[in-house]
A and B are shown apart, each in its own frame.
Chain A
Amino acid sequence: MELKLKLTDYRTDVHNNWCPGCGDFGILSSIQQALFEMQLNPSKVAIISGIGCSAKTPHYINGYGIHTLHGRAIPYATGLKLANPELEVIVTVGDGDGLGIGAGHFVHAGRRNVDFTVVLYNNEVYGLTKGQAAPTLNIGVKTKSLPKPNINQAINPILLAFAAGYTFIARGYAYEVKHLKELIKQAISHKGSAFVEVIQPCPTYNDIHTKEYWSGKGNIDPKTGKEVPRYYKLEETGYECIITDETTEEEYLNKITNFIKKAYESGNRVPIGVFYRDLRFATYEERLSSRMPTYKISPPAKQEIADKKGNLITNIDKILEEFAI
């Protein structure tokens, strides 16, 4: 019988150099706890990141950690997962990483529904290059290192993920670690591409949406006269949006309308939780299996390609016959 893995088994001893108070700590901790609670074998876990503060995540997790190029984590992850579908693949990207330079890959992942999880660290700024505006920063906002207020509108990550075709869409908050951990567990368990946006304060460069801001500073509930957080949990409102093959067109329209309303909520009441689940689409792995019957049992990384003497074992004679005179 296997020994039960401890939480520390998912940690490394690499010195963590994120700024004190960084929201990344909460996300890292949520991922480690999720892996621990799911008792996933670290050798079957691959954490793929891009570039930026978020991209250091894999170095702090004991699992195969692939720290890639700016914006390119998703295609690396796609290749890994499709070559060996038994891997549990988690992509950690930043807002600039995932929705700026990597926006194309982010969108195209939605078309494929590869069975992996994308966690988007959204602090609205490019932290590692000292606080420039990220694609998720609202127009008119001037965070502290911007010389002028932001001149671009913000991308709505939830709606973009929906339009792209992600089949599981959620949002968490970096300092709601337990809640976020549960979201990540659900995302990992989901069959298909799961997207988790994480609202994350950047204590160094985002002086607008700070930890205090999100916890409710200046947001007074008129009934109680007390400060209340600027986020709320969707599940506590009874909200749910699950689309299946049985969903009628009318139901679908109702659900989607509701979803879009939730996705647009901002300001003092930002929803966190699971926004959307779509169970209608086969995963990319299943689509490949339907064309290639042996894909599942011998995916690309598991196939023998030579005998012990190094003789190639692929039968090319039949193919060559197509070209025979």
Chain B
Amino acid sequence: MQGTAGKDVIVTVLVAAVLIWALPLMVGTYTLTVLAIYAMLGLSLGLIWGFGGILCFGQAAFFGLGAYTYAIAAINTGESTLPMILAVIVPCVFAALLGAMMFYGRLGDVYLGVITLVVTLILFKFISSTAGPQYTIGTARLGGYNGIPGFPTLNVPGRPDLFIWGDALYYLCAVALLLVYLGVTWFLRSSFGRIAVGIRENETRMSLIGYDVRARKTVLFAIGAAIAGLAGALFANWGAIVTPGLFSLSQSAEIIIWCIVGGLGTRFGPLLGAAGLGYLKFLLGQQSMINNTMLMGLILVLFVLFLPRGVVPAAISVWRASIGRPRRAGRAGALRRNRRRGRTDG
């Protein structure tokens, strides 16, 4: 088991190193940076939804909180190290409180979706209405619809004069994504991760085995928010401005579409979905013939109808059916009661 894990890490690092080196030869690093950030954001939802069964309609809330926390803290401290740490901690704590309220309140999946969506919209409305000069935190003005521009972007820790931007920011974001991916892989191999998957499969049974489902879902939800917060902080650095649009409904919906298209229950699926659709959005942004949002909606409808498990699980199934090992059938014949919900090892 440990040997396999070590091999997986080496393969992942090698493949990532090749991609990090090769992709800038084809696509600009400015675009690749935001794609890496989107991939991290997709992975954050992919973790809690695909492996924990928590469908959060408000992952954008944690993304936006991370971005705003970074911007506000950077203006107040004049450097980026502490703001980066706060950008992970603040969404994590916020999600822990929100999650505890929802999971200990025994809310069903539908209500959980509604509450996370509403929280995102509340944040959007609130931040949008902070244009007045009275809305300041320390020396940072929240700026309402105009957002917060002009905050110090990433610098080398301890060297506020040495900024990380351009190609360096791309490499930083790509390495951060790789580290998050490896962290998620480690987490899913750990007891906590395996138990989270068990909870996704059957909460009642896991509770009857003796696991406190509420506490574990709260922790998983907070971990997903921490990753989204990190992505938000990197996004703030990429754009050098944060606006209420980060909390928007369309941003929340996009993250869900990334996960569905890429494939739930896989680590690589949401990452691929986010980067792939993010790049498509970038390409479509260069023309005005096709409406971007409409195309996203169409892609979602097509995937739900024809490839509901997403790209990565479908590709794995095709591979297994052609050259891979077929799954073993049950002793008494394959009585397939419930289709598995797209879980594979991708």
Do A and B belong to a common assembly?
no
Show the binding face of A for B, using Cβ within 8 Å.
none
Q: B residues near A, CB below 8 A?
A: none
